[in-house]
């Protein structure tokens, strides 16, 4: 440590943490290191028996030894070959911001206890509102995209009928939410919690690329109305979880306008494209929505959790959620209590999620973000074009709009089949889980796989690139090589 | 740094972060440093103009200079004189755990991406279930106590009628939740989101100490039933936010049994007493509840956010919340997918909140926690007895059950009043805000104040001790001295 280091007890512990993380290669992008040293649950319990908290660890050396073994058995999500989820490596400045706000351990509910962080949150929200095109809007950070979407549902219902806040919904006909069949399952979970019920989530049909069909949306709304139900919320997805599809925002906005329905955009995954000159056109109509959710902790590499909901109508968030607790939100404080943002939230205490994004943004600016997003998209396009021409790879869609590229790998033994019937596809369905197991046991690569049952598609791989660590075309060649090797004898 | 230090770019940034935090005394318990260097929002914007993200900060030196100024204008929540909220300083091992899990940046939804953290979460939940007395229970970490309470409401409603998950609640009579008039406002916010409505939250009367009156609970239930409504959820509070009151758990359990209602215990604040031999008797009947929420990020000093919900009935959490997304929770994985815990949650991605508590618990053990809790309670008892005998201080209640001590300070000019009438009390009500402003501007002490309108009590101070940094009797003398000094001329 440099001068100024006072070596408090806490600082010594944290110094040790930094040394451990560094020596275990947690921040490293060394491609020769394994992505994961996988152990099954029972093996891992045997390997690190101290995990069970049976007795305190009294010896300092033993403690750090246990912690080292835990770190060794974590997945290295910052590894260039971790391409398993919609998130991956960290922006190092984002992590710096996270560590700082963790150390200052405060709550984002009042200016009183989080003065600088409150201003940082406002600054970030202002920039995001500007990018989305909400001129005089509002926003809030939520603990994850699912809860950000729930905020939007609460706003939509409150806007439709403010008396639902105090009266509940029992005086209303059954409420209906509309979302595409490719959209995120958080809509179902939210419908349950909100008392709407999962049966009242209408899964609107999508086209061949996975985008909501506006005419199908109209039919769904009409059919709900005829059934005496009350639609109140339409969710458009900008970047679906599996196929990365973007719903046609302008056309959905037209429908919402016609039927006077709240239009929300779940841009949790695809929202980061907003920074790109090359790829942001797909988001140009976000300004027509009423609210939009975006997770900078996904593609952009902010540390988890970093989720934003932005809203077009200023003031609504506070009206909708406020409970005006007198022990927190006293109006006789000596400072401008308009800066106490907590009562906009359904939460009481709220982590400082804004500062990590603030720090990343300060360093990189919008053009820096643009370069990172462009690279991450460009490299995924490279992968897509490479496997299009390669024997043994079949793309699930002819093109993909986001960085998730979905494909089957057909091992040599299955390639010569005369007929691609049910039996053949069921063999193909076993390929991805088997290759994945081999890759994980080797620690050589992590990518996801899944079926899409409503499209009758058996297990396929989904490779996802994110901004950090910046992926390269060589990384994509590694993916191809790994799959071909691990699947050679299947 | 010691050997093993590879000085990756990330490590250099994090090294700088640690140096900054250390040199700015963030971890320090130096009582001569200010708790806060307060600036009003506009002043702070002027002082740190770079907060607005107008242009990227391209110079490394400038960047760290801005960050340093931000840190300087944060509230030092780890300062011994930050006694403002129900949280305060950090357990240094908790912070170490937070930094580690932030650096590994993973999601607590599947064993696949969080193997070691999944086992750590299970280990912590097992210990907590044991302490609460749920023999074969289940649990989950939630992003804050409000959402932990929401989980309990979801479970209660689902248990009452599982068809509410798919049908919603429109086929039911108005649902009713019962909670004490001293309980946390999260019940109101949740009732709104759940479609129950805030009017259907019955605020049950409390006794002179702020504890729910069981006979009043019965009356409230009967009256809801007579009105054709359907009570389904009773919230008992173990440690209310302002007065620190503990509801009589056994008697409430009797009522819930009789009417077959879900009994939840909001022990977000008071739950940490479970570790104390001396003070845990007040929690001895928690095993009779159906669920309990506890925030180790409050009294115990785990870093924010660290909230746990435990449930008596195993399996219910999964049944209630599952949506079985095929891209995450495939059943054809090669490991035991019973270790994939994500589908128990309403969230999709979930921060690793368990590991920081795991690390604290590993080092301190239950006896270590007990010592910390006992000290924090003992010191608050010292403060209570000291101001009982002091001129100018009036306790709001004769005794307090938790570490929040509520009191008025009567400055000399008001002491000689012949009659303590409305006018006198309204003058008293201005005292706490004024003293607080002076203390904050001096950076000498932060404690909270608030009125309690339903008890017709004007602004009073609420001093709260927590485990970290361990409070001392000398700190309590400082509080008394500060208040007396700052209020001398009022």
Are both B138 and B56 inside the same structural domain?
no
Are both B391 and B358 inside the same structural domain?
no
Residue B379 belongs to some domain of the structure: no
- A93 CB neighbours in chain B (<8 A) are 13
Q: Which residues in A383-415 are b (16+ Cβ under 10 Å) and which e?
A: bbebbeeeebbeebbeebbbbbbbbbbbbeebe
Give the Å distances, CA to CA, from A455 to A242, A452, B330, B384, B472.
12, 6, 16, 67, 65
**Residue B346 contacts A where some CB pair is shorter than 8 Å:** yes
pLDDT value, residue A6: 55
pLDDT value, residue B133: 98
Are both B51 and B124 inside the same structural domain?
no
Are both B164 and B16 inside the same structural domain?
no
| Residue B419 main-chain phi, psi, to 5 deg | -130, 130
**Residue A54 contacts B where some CB pair is shorter than 8 Å:** no
Are both A175 and A234 inside the same structural domain?
yes
Average pLDDT estimate for B321-327: 90
B478: domain CATH number? 3.90.1150.170
Nearest-angstrom CA–CA distance, B288 and B25: 45
pLDDT value, residue A480: 98
Are both A69 and A120 inside the same structural domain?
no
pLDDT value, residue A324: 86
Q: Do the beta carbons of residue B293 and residue B148 sit within 8 Å?
A: yes
Round the average pLDDT of chain B to a whole number and report it: 96
Q: Do the beta carbons of residue B136 and residue B298 sit within 8 Å?
A: no
pLDDT value, residue B6: 55
Q: Which residue of B lies nearest to A59 if distances are taken between CA atoms?
A: B363
Q: Which band of pLDDT confidence, cut at 50, 70 and 90, is reported for residue B2?
A: very low
Q: Is the dihedral of CA A47, A51, A57, A60 positive or negative?
A: positive
The whole model's pTM is what?
0.97
- Domain edge (last residue) among A363, A398, A418: A363
Domain that holds residue B69: 9-30+37-74
- B241 CB neighbours in chain A (<8 A) are 325, 327
Strand pairing class (B291-294; B307-311): antiparallel
Nearest-angstrom CA–CA distance, A461 and A453: 14
- Domain edge (last residue) among B295, B330, B363: B363
Residue B456 belongs to some domain of the structure: yes
Q: Give contacts of B 388-447 with A, CB under 8 A.
A: 430, 433, 436-437, 440
Residue A379 belongs to some domain of the structure: no
Residue B88 belongs to some domain of the structure: no
CB contact under 8 A, B92 and A13: yes
Give the Å distances, CA to CA, from A145 to A149, A418, B153, B379.
6, 45, 21, 42
Residue A84 belongs to some domain of the structure: no
Residue A87 belongs to some domain of the structure: no
Say whether the peptide bond before residue A433 is cis (omega within 30 degrees of 0). Answer: no
Say whether the peptide bond before residue B79 is cis (omega within 30 degrees of 0). Answer: no
Residue B80 belongs to some domain of the structure: no
pLDDT value, residue A331: 87
Does ipTM come in above 0.95? yes
Q: Check residue A354 and report its DSSP letter.
A: H
Residue in B104, B242, B437 nearest the CB of A74: B104
Are both B334 and B395 inside the same structural domain?
no
**Residue A94 contacts B where some CB pair is shorter than 8 Å:** no
What is the CB neighbour count within 10 angstroms for residue A126? 14
Q: Give contacts of B 203-262 with A, CB under 8 A.
A: 241-242
Are both B340 and B456 inside the same structural domain?
no
Percent of chain B with pLDDT over 70: 99
How many domains does chain A contain in total? Answer: 3
Query: Helical H runs in A260-409?
Result: 316-321, 354-389
CB contact under 8 A, A84 and B113: yes
pLDDT value, residue B348: 94
Alpha-carbon distance A4 to nearest alpha carbon in chain B (angstroms): 5
Residue B200 belongs to some domain of the structure: yes
pLDDT at B327 over 90: no
Are both A70 and A100 inside the same structural domain?
no
- pLDDT tens digits for range B145-187: 999 999 999 999 999 999 999 999 999 999 999 999 999 999 9
Nearest-angstrom CA–CA distance, B33 and B24: 10
Average pLDDT estimate for B41-69: 95
Q: Which residue of B lies nearest to A26 if distances are taken between CA atoms?
A: B104
Residue in A73, A335, A346 nearest the CB of B40: A335
Are both A169 and A44 inside the same structural domain?
no
Nearest-angstrom CA–CA distance, A170 and A150: 19
pLDDT value, residue A3: 37
Mean pLDDT per 10-residue section of chain A, whose length is 490 residues: 59 96 90 96 95 93 96 96 96 98 96 96 98 97 98 98 98 98 97 98 98 98 98 98 98 98 98 97 98 98 98 97 89 92 94 98 97 98 97 97 98 94 96 98 97 96 98 98 97
Are both B352 and B395 inside the same structural domain?
no
- B36 CB neighbours in chain A (<8 A) are 115
Nearest-angstrom CA–CA distance, A400 and A398: 7
- B73 CB neighbours in chain A (<8 A) are 115-116
Are both A207 and A328 inside the same structural domain?
yes
**Residue A93 contacts B where some CB pair is shorter than 8 Å:** yes
Q: Do the beta carbons of residue B179 and residue B234 sit within 8 Å?
A: yes
**Residue B63 contacts A where some CB pair is shorter than 8 Å:** yes
- Domain edge (last residue) among A363, A397, A429: A363
pLDDT at B301 over 80: yes
Return all residues near A59 (Cβ < 8 A) that are at least 6 apart.
Answer: none
Reading the block at residue A85, the tokens are 């989820």
pLDDT value, residue B4: 40
B127: domain CATH number? 3.40.640.10
Alpha-carbon distance A274 to nearest alpha carbon in chain B (angstroms): 17
**Residue A195 contacts B where some CB pair is shorter than 8 Å:** yes
Beta bridge partners of A405: A463
């Amino acid at each position: 440590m440099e001068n100024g280091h006072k070596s408090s007890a806490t600082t010594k512990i944290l110094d040790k943490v930094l040394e451990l993380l560094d020596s275990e290669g947690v921040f490293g992008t060394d491609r020769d290191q394994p992505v994961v040293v996988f152990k099954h649950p029972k093996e891992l319990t045997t390997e690190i028996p101290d995990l069970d908290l049976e007795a305190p660890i009294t010896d300092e050396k033993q403690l750090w030894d246990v912690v080292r073994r835990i770190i060794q058995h974590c997945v290295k999500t910052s590894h260039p070959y971790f391409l398993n989820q919609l998130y991956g490596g960290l922006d190092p400045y984002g992590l710096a911001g996270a560590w700082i706000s963790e150390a200052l351990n405060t709550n984002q509910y009042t200016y009183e206890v989080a003065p600088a962080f409150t201003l940082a949150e406002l600054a970030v929200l202002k920039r995001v509102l500007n990018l989305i095109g909400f001129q005089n809007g509002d926003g809030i950070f939520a603990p994850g995209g699912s809860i950000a979407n729930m905020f939007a549902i609460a706003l939509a219902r409150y806007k439709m009928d403010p008396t639902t806040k105090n009266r509940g919904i029992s005086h209303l006909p059954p409420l209906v939410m509309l979302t595409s069949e490719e959209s995120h399952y958080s809509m179902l979970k939210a419908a349950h919690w909100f008392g709407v019920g999962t049966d009242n989530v209408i899964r609107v049909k999508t086209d061949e690329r996975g985008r909501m069909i506006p005419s199908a949306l109209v039919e769904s709304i009409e059919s709900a109305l005829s059934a005496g139900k009350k639609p109140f919320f339409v969710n458009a997805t900008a970047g679906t979880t599996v196929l990365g599809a973007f719903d046609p925002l302008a056309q959905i906005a037209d429908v919402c306008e016609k039927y006077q329905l709240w239009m929300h955009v779940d841009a949790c995954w695809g929202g980061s494209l907003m920074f790109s000159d090359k790829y942001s056109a797909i988001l140009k109509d976000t300004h027509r929505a009423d609210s939009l959710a975006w997770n900078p902790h996904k593609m952009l590499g902010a540390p988890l959790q970093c989720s934003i909901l932005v809203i077009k109508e200023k003031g609504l968030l506070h009206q909708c959620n406020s409970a005006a607790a007198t022990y927190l939100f006293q109006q006789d404080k000596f400072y401008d209590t308009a800066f106490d943002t907590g009562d906009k939230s359904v939460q009481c205490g709220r982590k400082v999620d804004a500062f990590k994004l603030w720090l990343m943004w300060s360093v990189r600016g919008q053009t820096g973000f643009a370069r990172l997003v462009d690279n991450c998209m460009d490299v995924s396009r490279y992968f897509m074009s490479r496997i299009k021409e390669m024997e043994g790879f079949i793309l699930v869609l002819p093109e993909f709009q986001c960085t998730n590229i979905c494909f089957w790998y057909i091992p040599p033994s299955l390639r010569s089949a005369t007929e691609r019937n049910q039996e053949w596809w069921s063999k193909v369905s076993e390929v991805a889980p088997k290759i994945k197991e081999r890759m994980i046991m080797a620690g050589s690569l992590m990518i996801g796989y899944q079926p899409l049952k409503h499209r009758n598609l058996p297990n396929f791989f989904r490779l996802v690139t994110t901004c950090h660590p910046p992926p390269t075309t060589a990384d994509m060649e590694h993916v191809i090589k790994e799959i071909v090797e691990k699947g050679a004898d299947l």
